[in-house]
Amino acid sequence: MTSRRTFLQTTALTSAAATLSSSILWSATRPAKDKLGVALVGLGYYSTDLLAPALQKTKNCYLASIVTGTPAKAEKWKKQYNIPDKNIYNYQNFDQIANNPDIDVIYVVLPPSMHEEYVVRAAKAGKHVWCEKPMAVTAKECQNMIDACAKNKVSLSIGYRLQHEPNTQEYVKGLRDGKIGKVLMVNCAAAYYDARTDHWKQKKEMGGGVMYDMGVYAIQGARLATGEEPIAVTAQQYTTRPDVYKNGLDETSMAQFIFPSGARASIQSSYGMNMNYLHVTGSKGTLMMEPYSAYNGVKGAWSNGGTINHPYDVPTEQVMQMDDDAAAIMNKKPMLVPGEEGLRDIKIVEAIYAAAKSGREVKIS
């Protein structure tokens, strides 16, 4: 991963005005398709183990292209997924993707520090963009991504698989319908023990730190449960492995939110322990989701009766997510998780880091 970073940092932007003009023209005149071609940018674990297999089972999109800086990976994927040579790119010729009609969507699956650059370049190439979470490292980067997609008239969606997941959708609807009365308190945790010591998640300059990764799940839990945006936060961060999580990088983060209604939330995220639950206390009952954010399924129960445990009618959450987003593009409908949703979370992440550093409550506008 470090070698990828070094390679990308030395790569110059190569888009030319003529290329961009032709890509915008193509974007405006592209014919309707039964399935959208997706280019995966970055072939790490998530692309290799989850997205690529999911794209073999999606109804509305398919794996059309890859972008990688590793020739050996390119050759392996070419053979495994029968990808034609013309649809295989590296980070030097990435912008030429603008001229390829096989590719409708570029899915950015790189370390967070690279998201802004490649989302903006994808948008300038006239392609719709899906970006893995966290959306970016700063709110300013998120806004730049949103603006670039709007300017180039392409859609932008953030890879929040849980918002596409039926059990998540059911508990959110139940809470909005008042099944447990007024929401008073939310406790949400998303954490796992990460034994790695030299991954991008342990590198601050690449957007590492648990708050950006697992913390976004916990923030989503609090926001989805209350249906509100927090107005103030206090936070604490620490590490039990200072040789791995250096220079203020957080191995474990905790935060406490205040919402406009008076509801409170406490969230936890960590690379040092296993936690996966959402507990919501209302004026007339409680909701317990456990596991709350697992790849292999989400389930829960209401204290005043009823379970939430729908079996999936599609293979994986990633299939649901990508099929939903592809359908939205084809039908010219709004994205379920647009860039603005990712921006809201990163604003909160920035407030959490500020609160942890200062030891004081931070207001969120």
Q: Which active-site residues does the annotation give?
A: 133, 217
Asked if 278 and 294 count as a contact pair (C-beta separation under 8 A), the reply is no
* CA distances for 215 relative to 14, 77, 222, angstroms: 35, 32, 11
Residue with tokens 């970073």: 5
Residue 96: Cβ-neighbour burial (10 angstroms; 0-12, 13-18, 19+) = middle
Enumerate long-range contacts of 77-84, CB under 8 Å, 24 or more apart: 77/43, 77/52, 81/52, 81/56
- Within a 10 A sphere around the Cβ of 97, how many other Cβ atoms? 23
DSSP character string of 231-247: SEEEEEEE-S-TTTS-T
Task: Locate 35 and state its tokens.
Answer: 């399935």
| DSSP reduced 3-state for 22 | helix
Cα radius of gyration rounded to whole Å, the chain: 21
Residue with tokens 């508990």: 171
Residue type, position 134, single letter? P
DSSP character string of 308-342: E-PPPSSS-HHHHHHHHHHHHHHTT---SSBHHHH
Greatest alpha-carbon pair distance for the chain in Å reads: 63
* CA distances for 262 relative to 186, 281, 285, 286, 361, angstroms: 12, 13, 17, 17, 16
Residue with tokens 């406009």: 260
Residue type, position 356, single letter? A
